[in-house]
Amino acid sequence: MDKNDNSIFKGMKKSGFLVVLMSLVVMFTVGCKDDDPDPVWHATPYVFDIPVGFPTNLNIPSDNPMTVEGIELGRHLFYDGRLSGRTHPDSLMTCATCHRQSRAFDLGVDHPVYNDPDGRPWGLTGHKTPHTVLSLVNLVWNHQGYMWNGVVSKDNTMLGSPAHDVPPLPEYHWNNIESVVWLAIVDPHEIVGHPDRTVALLSTVTDPDYPAMFEQAFGTPEITYDRISKAIGQFIRTIVSSNSTAHKAWRGEANFTDAERMGWMLFMTEEGADCFHCHGGDGSPLMTTHLFYNNAKDTCFVGVCANPRDRYSVTKNDRDRGAFKAPTLINVEHTGPYMHDGRFRTLDEVIQFYNSGLKYSEYAHPLMHKLFPPYSNGMNLNPVQLQQLKAFLLSLTDNELLTDPKYSNPRPDNPFFIQW
Ligand code: HEC
Ligand code: HEC
């Protein structure tokens, strides 16, 4: 960890973004005194624009407040294939290789390279990722842990690596987006970078711009692994998706079609499709509770379907066997393949599963009550209702996000920068 990075923020409380901003203002004022021998660091605090109706409680760690310069640096790094510590065109891999803006920063079923039936991409060493990719939208509102099983969580005091096959970084807490960034860069399933090699590459002649950008973001031109993770973490927290047709309709800026409105009603009612308990929509525009459930995909008994990376692997609580995060359904049109194992490629398959394909197990979450009479293995909707439910799910697509220039590749002409 680069201890120097944080000195200006020492003593800052964790109690919210406004406190962070106010502290920054105070510290900058103090830092500007004439008799202060330290170089003055002029990073511009980022003012987070919370969309109407979204929660105000943001997950921004106190040792990585967001700044305009940090975010811009993070956006560059997110798209820079040299994160792999290599320069050969075949060995470049970026975050955007798997997290594509046009697919809401998920993989999509139409990836030009990663389109195996199981929907899992693979890293530069050829190892497939254990799970399918997750979308990166609205992560600043997630307080319940990152990854499909929530292994990277604020409450986590575990040191070292959460994965058996990832080189451990001692004294690193797996507690926030910054940890996921580090993991993504070094993981053999992903970019397979190496802290020294990646840092050295970004520091050298291959890019004269980075030292100045690091200086603007962090006060000195020094490039460290910790700063790379922090800058990318800042960029990811700016990715906000709040302009789908449904969100606009909820704000009174657009109208649902009749089918979309009926679908929303089904989504929200227990006797209808009953999706809202786990995927939100009941006053929360995030379309997820961020919690973990076993949604009755498998006939699963102890020892028979033990998944080595389910929620149980993190909590050791029997009730979490076969449970995974309920992902946000915002942009669900584009976030396939679906489920942690990519077993469904189309929304129609997912809807059919919830309609009649539920499988009983002792670990199925009680909210999957449509396993039981008067229902039969699902919600048992008629074809018209199924179309309405699908219309509502499609109204959750935020087309503005998919092309918003502020999230796009900053250097499309640079061969090291890749956007799939
Ligand atoms: C080879 C494909 C691949 C690459 C490259 C990749 N990721 Fe991911 N990413 C994934 C997969 C797969 C997951 C889900 C992992 C899991 O939960 O098991 C994921 C999950 C995440 C999450 C957690 C999302 C959530 O809701 O919990 C974040 C954050 C993330 N990636 C950021 C990044 C960043 C930053 C980079 C670049 C440094 C990156 N990823 C590169 C495949 C990739
Ligand atoms: C008991 C909680 C629960 C209920 C109720 C529920 N889901 Fe889910 N949903 C989940 C979980 C958990 C996952 C991820 C499961 C996994 O990957 O193993 C999921 C995954 C999905 C996915 C795939 C998302 C992706 O990006 O991979 C879609 C689409 C979906 N659900 C739609 C619905 C719809 C529509 C309904 C109502 C008919 C519904 N869900 C009801 C918990 C629930």
319 CA to middle of ligand 2, Å?
18
Q: Are 134 and 148 spatial neighbours (Cβ–Cβ below 8 Å)?
A: yes
Phi, psi of 46 (to 5 degrees): -90, 130
Distance of CA 154 to the CA centre of its chain: 15
CA dist list (Å): 290 to 150, 270, 287: 9, 20, 9
Identical fold, 3-240+403-407 and 245-397: yes
Q: How many CA atoms lie within 13 A of 418 on its CB side?
A: 20
Number of H helices, E strands in the chain: 14, 2
Mutate to test the pocket of ligand 2, among 269, 295, 355, 368 (most ligand atoms within 8 A of CB): 295
Q: Which ligand 1 atom sits nearest the alpha carbon of residue 132?
A: 12
CATH superfamily of 3-240+403-407: Cytochrome c-like domain (1.10.760.10)
Find the 112 Cα to ligand 1 centroid distance in Å. Answer: 18
Residue nearest to atom 3 of ligand 2 (CA): 278
Q: Which of 406, 47, 53, 392 is nearest to 242 (CA)?
A: 53
Q: Which ligand is nearest to the CA of 105?
A: 1
**Backbone angles phi and psi of 202, in degrees to 5:** -70, -25
Pocket (CB within 6 angstroms of ligand 2): 273-275, 277-279, 293, 295, 297, 324, 326-327, 329, 332, 335, 338-340, 350, 354, 365, 367-368, 379
Nearest CA to ligand 1 atom 18: 131
Nearest 5 degrees, angle CA 340-CA 133-CA 314?
A: 55
Cα–Cα distance measured from residue 117 to residue 345, given in angstroms and rounded to the nearest whole number? 8
In the structure, which protein residues have their CB atom closer than 6 angstroms to any atom of ligand 1?
Answer: 83, 93, 95, 97-99, 121, 123, 129-134, 136, 139, 146-148, 177, 180-181, 184-185, 190-191, 232, 236
Residue nearest to atom 12 of ligand 1 (CA): 133
Structure tokens at 149: 């099983």
Question: Domain segments of the chain: what residues?
Answer: 3-240+403-407, 245-397
- Could you say which architecture CATH assigns to the domain 245-397? Orthogonal Bundle (1.10)
Q: How far apart are CA 401 and CA 189, in angstroms?
A: 27
**Ligand closest to the CA atom of residue 291:** 2
> What is the atom index within ligand 1 of the atom nearest the CA of 181?
35
Do residues 74 and 233 lie in contact, with contact meaning Cβ atoms separated by under 8 Å?
yes
Q: What is the pTM of this model?
A: 0.90
* Burial (CB count <10 Å: 0-12, 13-18, 19+), residue 71: buried
Residues 37-41: contacts with CB under 8 Å, at least 24 apart: 39/219, 39/220, 41/8, 41/218, 41/219
From first to last of the 420 residues of the chain, give the pLDDT tens digit. 343 443 333 333 333 444 444 444 444 444 444 444 445 677 999 999 999 999 999 999 999 999 999 999 999 999 999 999 988 988 899 999 999 999 999 999 999 999 898 889 999 889 999 999 999 999 999 999 999 999 888 877 665 555 545 555 545 567 899 988 988 888 888 888 887 888 888 887 678 899 999 999 999 999 998 999 999 999 999 999 999 999 999 999 999 999 999 999 999 999 999 999 999 877 689 999 999 999 999 988 776 767 889 999 888 898 999 999 999 999 999 999 999 999 999 999 999 999 999 999 999 999 999 999 999 999 999 999 999 999 999 999 999 999 999 999 999 999 999 988
Strand pairing partners for 45? 67
How far does residue 344's CA lie from ligand 1's centre (Å)? 20
Q: What are phi and psi of 80, to 5 degrees?
A: -95, 115
Phi, psi of 266 (to 5 degrees): -60, -45
Measure 297 CA to ligand 2 centroid, in angstroms.
10
